[in-house]
Structure 1
Amino acid sequence: MGDTATLPQHDPDQQKRSADLAVAQARYAISYDIVPGIPMVAQVPEEATPSKEWTLRTLIPLKNILANVVANRCIEEEHNIESAFEKQVAKGLTFSSLIKGFGAGIEQVGELLDHLGEDASHSLMKKVLRGQHITGHHDATARSPWMSPLTPHGRPKSIQCYDDLYREVERPPVMELWQDDNWFAQMRVAGQNPMLIKGIDALPAKFPVTEGHYSVNAEAGDTLAAALKEGRLFLLDYELIGDTVEDNTNPILGERKYTPAPIALFAVPPTGGSLRPVAIQVGQDPANFSISIPADGWAWQKAKTAVQVADANYHELVCHLGQTHLIMEAAALATKRNLSVRHPLYKLLMPHFEGTLAINNSAAHSMLAPGGVIDLSFGGTLESMIRLAGRAVSEYDFHAAMPPADFARRKIGPEGRLVDYPYRDDALRLWDAIGDWARSYVDYYYRSDADVAADDELGAWSRTLSSPLSEGGIGGFTPITNHADLRKALAMIMFTASAQHAAVNFTQWADMSYSPALAGALWAEWKEGDATEQDWLDLLPPLQFGELQAEFLSLLGGVHHTHLGEYKSNSFPYSDMITEPEIVEGALAVFQARLKEIEIQITRENRDLVTRSAPYVYLLPSKVPASINI
């Protein structure tokens, strides 16, 4: 990418530029059949496949996953792992030499990976996405590997059964917290899905919480009416899950799985502080579902589990897959197909798309395939789960999803009563920094609104993204006619590809990989009334799917590749994409310094815990990749 960045109206070689774009449009042809109705690249070109550095980074969690599979079966590696390469990785032999090579320099890494085979890590990852790393079988729906006495299987006799599945993969912190009500509330503002909770000034008629319900977990003298009036009540409503997801049968065991659509109420005490849970109704119709409160013992734990199952579905299919991965797929395709490699915006955006097309393709053909993780572990039919992801994309509003607008719409901004909302506070810091970087970059190349209007490649890019979904667009994206429009659009794309994805992706190991804390389905039909610990255990997944969850999410939450604020190509020698000295030494240096300041601010707040009840690390700039690549 050594070409000087040039706007098309200033490029003397218009003919070559147009010819190159025609080639790119052919190479990045769009299909609407991979995930029905969603624009995706028909075939991932070689230059968009994972870099060697990414391949190396994925070996760390993959090595641990394979070692965990072996340890859980207590048999020799060669009985479970097919290729010689995989056996070496599981034993840690080749892996140690790879890590040594990584420390020695990128040239040696390239040589090592060339020796092993370019797609070794990618192939292993696809097996994890399909669950084949556990079955050892290319048909993930085959019964025999799952029913083998060597495979952990069957219903848990106690929580210890799930704990024992973590032999070589790291144990997540949630193992010590899953029963704690404060942790349950904290997940709404600092967990896997901090995107759904909203402030309310009236209770929905379908959720008849009373003063009696509220008083059980309230401070002395506090009332439901006062909390409503003072803006201290907050709601989760999984109506979208109930409207979209259809219950399913596990394709291996033939057991029925269920996906609830609960409603949950939380409150901030009148004296301030963090959210507290108030009440849960496990379905949308109060005629069929009673209200549970924290004093209800195991019935309350069951209700919390129902919320966590619904949240897992909403997280994975809506705010993770749908509204980061697939939205950025459309942005990446529009960029590849409409902006020349010489365009300044191409050079700005492509590092934010590194690996996105490839990882989305892997997910579509593995995770979302029959017998893949979604089919095996989540409650809905595969068709309804894909439909849920499709709704997440089709109902997305680009401008309404911008952090300040989103927090205002949900009545949960920093000016309100909810002080302990780490995701919001850290997201706004990064949003402001990214917005200032976008402003400086745009101002350097576009001296006036007339320059924006004269850029025909930008015009084509804008028209594509503001088109209907069926034509490669993004919902709510509006045509770009001036500086302000362009700055906001670029900021939102960069924020979504980096910070937003980091917030919903890297929580998966810490908060989602332990089945007693969160699972993709209820494995028994919901029953109202009093409950015992066994009634609650009956809702949890069989152990083979607990193992799959632990290993799969340790992979998704364990690969940090690229860094926000770095602009490199994805192929050796990983050259700089942005080279203009005025930008590198000016606006980019300012942006990078700003990220370091934010790192210090967040680290201080995580240490002092004045406004937050627990550290929140997912939006530390040093932990935020530039792109969606896992």
Structure 2
Amino acid sequence: MEQYGRCSRVGKCVGAVKSKIFRANSDNRCIIEGTIVIEHGSRKYGPGKSVSVQIYSSTEVDPDTGKGKLSQKAYLKEGKSSKQDDVRTTTYQVKFFVESGFGVPGAFVVRNQHRHEFFLQHATLQASENQIIHFDCRSWVYPIKKTKSNRIFFSNSCFLPSQTPRGLVELRREELVSLRGNGTGERKKWDRIYEYDYYNDLGNPDEDPEYIRPVLGGSNLHPFPRRLRTGRPPNKTDPSTESRPELFNFDIYVPPDERFSPKKLAEFKRNAIQATLHFLVPEAKKLFQESNGLDFESFDEILDLFSSNRDQVLEGGVAKIMKKLVTDGFFKEITNASKLDSINFPLPQIIAANDTAWIEDEEFGHQMLAGANPTRIRGLETFPPEGSSIDQSHIEHNLDGLSLERAMKQWRLYILDHHDYLMPFLERIFLEEGACTYASRTLFFLRNDATLKPVAIELSFPGVISRVFVPASEGTDRALWQLAKAHVAANDSVYHQLINHWLHTHMVAEPFIIATRRQLSVMHPIHRLLDPHFKDTMHINALARSFLINAGGIFDNTLFSGSCSMELSSELYKEWRFDEQALSIDLLNRRMALEDTQSFSEVFILFQDYPYGLDGLDIWVAIKAWVQDFCDIFYKDDDSVRSDVEIQAWWSEIRNVGHGDKRQETWWYEMTTRSELMQALTTLIWIASGLHASLNFGQYAYAGYPPSRPFLCRKFIPYEGTEEFAEFLSDPDNYFLQMLPGRIQMTLGIALLEVLSRHISDEEYLGQRPSSKWIDNKDAQEKFEKFNENLKEVEKKILERNEDPKLKNRWGKANIPYRLLYPDTSKVEFKGGITSRGIPNSISI
């Protein structure tokens, strides 16, 4: 307990900032100095002396309260301010008077009597000549007239529950209890409560019967991960459905710890406004159709989206419609921005260096290994695929001289399967959405240079005989092959967006975050480990429920799945297993790797030119080593995991509540050993960092030009002898254009991808923390530096691979270097943008 020692001499204490010893006052008090740094939006002045702060001792207990001794109040006054990008930061020097023998500060409590909230970044105190205590706060502090209680922050020191310093034991317990709430009432933005709920807030039947949506979660028919409870009143039409907030309402409830910082909120709004100015929301469709027409009549018209200056001023009927759809404040910001110079979409990488590369079969195969969705391709285990109409005659001439039997034995055939899960939805999608969607199976052959060559596409629709298309180099067959590839690309785009991106990262992560806040104290080392990987996830998810995945939202209006998008996600959640989200297991299951019991990576990639697999495995190994090093500091044996009451409660809640529809599954870890804990943590960090980065930040590069990866098709492939086939023969390019999304849907889709693909300037990247003092544990800091060095080695490997001319899949025909899993540890002063590189710690966009 030496690290919790008192002041070395009675009546003396060490000041935090000037490292200066203050003698006791006549009443035998000590003075402890510190700094507190806050952000407070664009207002000129901070909260000042209307905010008081007191510190708790971690080592000395007040017998009257059973908690650590409490200092006298200090006030925030005479701070030094600076302003950048409409965000003002103020640093306050504070002095705390404490009794002699106060001990080591372990927490501080804030009372905000100002009329506005502020964002508390961090604080620093000095407990002794050799011990500076850091508080990494990063949370909003609301006025006490709203919260009815003070706000407490704990230091960056970590303790397992059984090792909690005695002055913090009761504070630790009280804090966790307060975060769990009572499951009643509507949550306001100042409430710091974490409760679970079903996805019952996606529909809006009071607005329109077309906006009726089933509740997702809590049933065998529609299982789903849980979300954060908001408690808004029910719809009048359907009491099981929660009422909706206004569109583009950035104040949708998330607890203060989860809300964007002022800097990020300002930047995110700017990006959203810019994207809004590229399109008019679907409710203005009639106006848009009258003035601009439904369709693009040439590929050049699509290219004009990226090169011409378009009038964006909101006026007349369009402005009236927009005003009804968004909050008054957001409408004002949109109107002001629309008066500025016209803004163009940036040029997507897929057409930047070679504007026809997307048409090539080699690029089509390349994107399965290194594009926006490289996690669906898998090795073909049996030929033909079960239930498939593809036979040997379709592909044997396209195997570069190999027999089918030999190609199978050499693991040279691969499949992109979007068939069985889609078939039950196709008729409904066609009738309700008007989208012409097939279920598809696409076979690829792995060539000697490790590129994937598509060799057959099967397209199916209920009640219709499946059609099989094969590659052709010219004429009508070539044009039909391009149509077939477009339908496959649409399948893959929607699966990528709905399942791999939103379900497998955003949605499955939220229950882990809620359980962590409810069951693991901020003093718990695992909370400290995971916290950076949860940054902003719940806020971005809440905003998604507000205008992206809700009834009438952007997904409804851009994806072929339309109003059944989230039901489709629910159906595929039935297949989700947490243990299979581990990259090593995923690669094994997809026959993209073989088991390697001698390697720390657990597997080795079947062929080296699989950029996602190879780079991802390097990241996986680095994360795994870091997690093991960190856990070794705090857990000495399996019993220390079993006896950790907070960890056991955390894992039980994840299994039985957060992912409660999966509670009966036998694949969950029992959480009785260190290895199970480390595997679970490695998987969770991988999902939040590497997996999400690989699926999110390449979207604009590859799908920002919709002909390459459309979100829907409006025409089926015509049959010979029909009027549509004659139309197709007369102008195949025009038929292709008419098959693509219309002007509204296409422009809206581009705008969405532009926002999603942008890095925000306050992003924190894998291997980085906002401060080197993110944890007050020297061993952990040293191990984290080792993690950072390992990631720098990964960067070197990736650069070397991208410079190797033999690895064709590192660039593809479109000449796009694969950098989605490049950690970019140098981004200390990163300014944001669409870069397709850098792995954020968290699912923050």
- Short-chain TM bin: 0.7 to 0.9
CA contact (8 A) 2:433 2:562 kept: no
Cα gap change, 1:470/1:34 in structure 2, threshold over 3 Å: closer, same or farther? farther
CA deviations 1:334-353 (Å, max 9, x no partner) are: 10111011111111111100
Cα gap change, 1:416/1:626 in structure 2, threshold over 3 Å: closer, same or farther? closer
Cα gap change, 1:612/1:433 in structure 2, threshold over 3 Å: closer, same or farther? farther
Give 1:189-228 correspondences, 5 Å limit: 189-203=369-383, 204-219=385-400, 221-228=401-408
Q: CA deviation at 1:141?
A: 2.4
Q: Distance in 2 between matches of 1:255 and 1:285?
A: 16
Cα gap change, 1:342/1:504 in structure 2, threshold over 3 Å: closer, same or farther? same
Aligned residue number for residue 505 of structure 2: 324
Q: 1:624 and 2:839 equivalent? A: yes
Q: 1:600 and 2:796 equivalent? A: yes
RMSD: 2.5
Cα gap change, 1:589/1:300 in structure 2, threshold over 3 Å: closer, same or farther? same
CA deviations 1:137-196 (Å, max 9, x no partner) are: 6xx4244442341xx441221111211112412111223222011110011111121111
Q: What is the letter of the counterpart of residue 843 of structure 2?
A: I
Name the SS of the counterpart of 2:466 in structure 1. coil
CA contact (8 A) 2:766 2:823 kept: yes
Aligned residue number for residue 283 of structure 2: 141
CA deviations 1:30-52 (Å, max 9, x no partner) are: 11123621311123112211123
Q: Distance in 2 between matches of 1:247 and 1:513?
A: 28
Name the SS of the counterpart of 2:455 in structure 1. strand
Aligned residue number for residue 29 of structure 1: 195
Q: CA deviation at 1:250?
A: 11
Q: Distance in 2 between matches of 1:473 and 1:344?
A: 27
Q: What is the letter of the counterpart of residue 141 of structure 1?
A: E
Q: CA deviation at 1:444?
A: 0.3
* Match for residue 281 of structure 1 among 433, 453, 458: 458
* Match for residue 449 of structure 1 among 634, 638, 641: 638
Q: CA deviation at 1:3?
A: 4.1
Q: CA deviation at 1:4?
A: 1.5
Aligned-pair identity in percent equals 26
Q: 1:315 and 2:496 equivalent? A: yes
> Which structure would you say has the larger Rg?
2
* Match for residue 5 of structure 1 among 147, 158, 181: 158
Aligned residue number for residue 259 of structure 1: 437
CA contact (8 A) 1:464 1:473 kept: no
Aligned residue number for residue 55 of structure 2: none
Q: CA deviation at 1:399?
A: 1.1
Aligned residue number for residue 487 of structure 2: 306
Q: 1:550 and 2:750 equivalent? A: yes
Q: CA deviation at 1:419?
A: 3.5
Q: 1:342 and 2:523 equivalent? A: yes
User: More deviation in 241-250 or 231-240?
Assistant: 241-250
CA contact (8 A) 1:187 1:194 kept: yes
CA contact (8 A) 1:325 1:356 kept: yes
Q: CA deviation at 1:552?
A: 1.2
Q: CA deviation at 1:576?
A: 4.5
TM-score (norm 2): 0.62
Q: 1:186 and 2:366 equivalent? A: yes
* Match for residue 300 of structure 2 among 137, 153, 160: 160
Q: CA deviation at 1:416?
A: 6.3
Q: Distance in 2 between matches of 1:461 and 1:472?
A: 17
Q: Distance in 1 between matches of 2:405 and 2:463?
A: 20
CA contact (8 A) 1:348 1:578 kept: no
Q: Distance in 2 between matches of 1:223 and 1:249?
A: 39
Aligned residue number for residue 463 of structure 1: 652
Q: What is the letter of the counterpart of residue 755 of structure 2?
A: L
Aligned residue number for residue 99 of structure 1: none
Q: Distance in 2 between matches of 1:484 and 1:215?
A: 46
Aligned residue number for residue 345 of structure 2: 169
CA contact (8 A) 1:282 1:289 kept: yes
Q: CA deviation at 1:620?
A: 0.2
Q: Distance in 2 between matches of 1:250 and 1:52?
A: 44
Q: 1:428 and 2:617 equivalent? A: yes
Name the SS of the counterpart of 2:283 in structure 1. coil
CA contact (8 A) 2:414 2:443 kept: yes
Name the SS of the counterpart of 1:579 in structure 2. coil
Q: CA deviation at 1:60?
A: 6.7
Name the SS of the counterpart of 2:456 in structure 1. strand
Name the SS of the counterpart of 2:710 in structure 1. coil
Q: Distance in 2 between matches of 1:153 and 1:23?
A: 56
CA contact (8 A) 2:423 2:461 kept: no
Aligned residue number for residue 367 of structure 1: 548
CA contact (8 A) 2:369 2:612 kept: yes
* Match for residue 65 of structure 1 among 247, 250, 275: 275
Aligned residue number for residue 230 of structure 1: 410
Q: Distance in 1 between matches of 2:765 and 2:748?
A: 29
CA contact (8 A) 2:156 2:775 kept: no
Q: CA deviation at 1:200?
A: 1.6
Indicate the structure whose relative CO is greater, using CA pairs within 8 Å and at least 6 residues apart. Answer: 1
* Match for residue 396 of structure 1 among 576, 588, 593: 576
Q: Distance in 1 between matches of 2:618 and 2:553?
A: 37
Name the SS of the counterpart of 1:281 in structure 2. strand
CA contact (8 A) 1:379 1:520 kept: yes
Richer in strand (by share): 2
Cα gap change, 1:416/1:450 in structure 2, threshold over 3 Å: closer, same or farther? closer
CA deviations 1:96-136 (Å, max 9, x no partner) are: xxxxxxxxxxxxxxxxxxxxxxxxxxxxxxxxxxxxxx22x
Q: CA deviation at 1:393?
A: 3.2
Q: Distance in 1 between matches of 2:773 and 2:262?
A: 17
What count of residue pairs does the alignment treat as equivalent? 549
CA deviations 1:593-623 (Å, max 9, x no partner) are: 0111101110111122433431211000110
* Match for residue 505 of structure 1 among 696, 707, 731: 696
Q: CA deviation at 1:437?
A: 0.3
* Match for residue 672 of structure 2 among 469, 481, 493: 481
CA deviations 1:228-282 (Å, max 9, x no partner) are: 222100011112541453566899xx9722332110000112x342111101011
Q: What is the letter of the counterpart of residue 326 of structure 1?
A: M
User: More deviation in 348-357 or 518-527?
Assistant: 518-527
Q: CA deviation at 1:62?
A: 4.4
